[in-house]
Amino acid sequence: MIAVWLAGLGVSILEPARYGRIPRRLAYVVDRRVVVDQATDEVERLRERLGRCVEDESLIAIRPILAAFMQAATVPDDCGVVVSTLRGKFADNHAWHLDPSRPAIIVGTVDMIGSRMLFSGYGGVGRNWRSLQAGLLLRDTWVVLDEAHLAPSFESLLTAMELHARCGISLCPFGVTRMSATLAVNHSHTDLKMATLDEPLFGPADIKDSRVTKRLNAAKSLRFVLAQAAASASKPAEQRAVMADKMAREAIMLAGGKGAVVVFADTVDLVKAVKVEIEKNIPRDGRIGF
């Protein structure tokens, strides 16, 4: 599968008519650490052969693939494609996301790759990296789920992601291939039909519904508010207090006494602090849900 992807990506980069049809990243996911290690070893061998094709005449046939990868990357390395392994007790080398233009192979477990797709990467991923990693894994990526029967919940999640991707930007493909020698016994005909991509997310009747149309065409706005005191606070507790006060005031203002506002925070402690500040600043008969 990985060798086929390498060849297909090289051709899609070299031929303008096929450009962009093959995702630039391959995420090989399997719920077994030993298989992750085996797959990593195989990928490293492929990468090593790709790097030797310039001097080795027996590998002359894959030189165009190497040239394509070098052309695609903003900062190419020795063979134009990088390899990263994501599994417990194995440090991420970060090569796959430092240059989004570079072809990359990410091999990892369901937990490590799945958590990054959901903006909450395991393994000490900082808040500034989460959106970047999720974006790269959910766009311009081909996911191969090996031993799919071992992770039915993750397979269902990938199916939902496929459906969502088809309703969004089509220039950066997202695809999933499931591999398994064991069929799931609880898959009925109805379940399989629901898991296909034949039916669009919204049908003609939905589009004509005024409530659906109102939601699809709703105006959206974004406003950034900087809490200067929080930026200059020296202690985490001081920073949290300033942020909580600012967030509470913004929420109360947006609600205006008649609207519903949802407040999101990145830590449980900040959520609790915002709750306290809102309770201090609203009338006693105000309604709040936490």
Contact 101, 20 (CB under 8 A): no
| Average pLDDT for 124-131 | 80
Of 32-46, 100-114, 151-165, 216-230, give the lowest mean pLDDT range. Answer: 216-230
Query: What does the alpha-carbon distance between residue 40 and residue 37 come to, in Å, rounded to a whole number?
Result: 5
| Average pLDDT for 26-34 | 90
How much is the pLDDT for 290?
52
SS3 (DSSP) at 226: coil
Query: What does the alpha-carbon distance between residue 35 and residue 25 come to, in Å, rounded to a whole number?
Result: 19
Domain ranges of the chain: 2-204, 228-281
Residues contacting 89, CB < 8 A, separation 6+:
none
Question: With bands split at pLDDT 50, 70 and 90, how would you rate the model's confidence at 145?
Answer: very high
Nearest to 177 by CA among 150, 140, 155, 144: 144
Contact 38, 119 (CB under 8 A): no
**From the CA atom positions of the chain, what is the Rg in Å?**
24
Higher-pLDDT residue of 26 and 94 is 26
Sheet holding 25-30, edge to edge: 82-86, 104-108, 25-30, 141-146, 174-178
Asked whether the predicted pLDDT for residue 44 surpasses 80, the reply is: yes
Range ranked top by mean pLDDT from 96-100, 229-233, 246-250: 246-250
Higher-pLDDT residue of 287 and 140 is 140
Query: Residues 47-52: contacts with CB within 8 Å, 24+ apart?
Result: 47/79, 47/81, 47/83, 47/105, 50/6, 50/79, 50/80, 50/81, 51/78, 51/79
Higher-pLDDT residue of 185 and 277 is 277
Q: What percent of the chain has pLDDT over 90?
A: 11
In this structure, what are the phi and psi dihedrals at residue 205, rounded to the nearest 5 degrees?
-65, -35
How many Cα neighbours within 13 Å face the side chain of 239? 9
Query: What does the alpha-carbon distance between residue 51 and residue 80 come to, in Å, rounded to a whole number?
Result: 8
Contact 57, 48 (CB under 8 A): no
Contact 103, 81 (CB under 8 A): yes
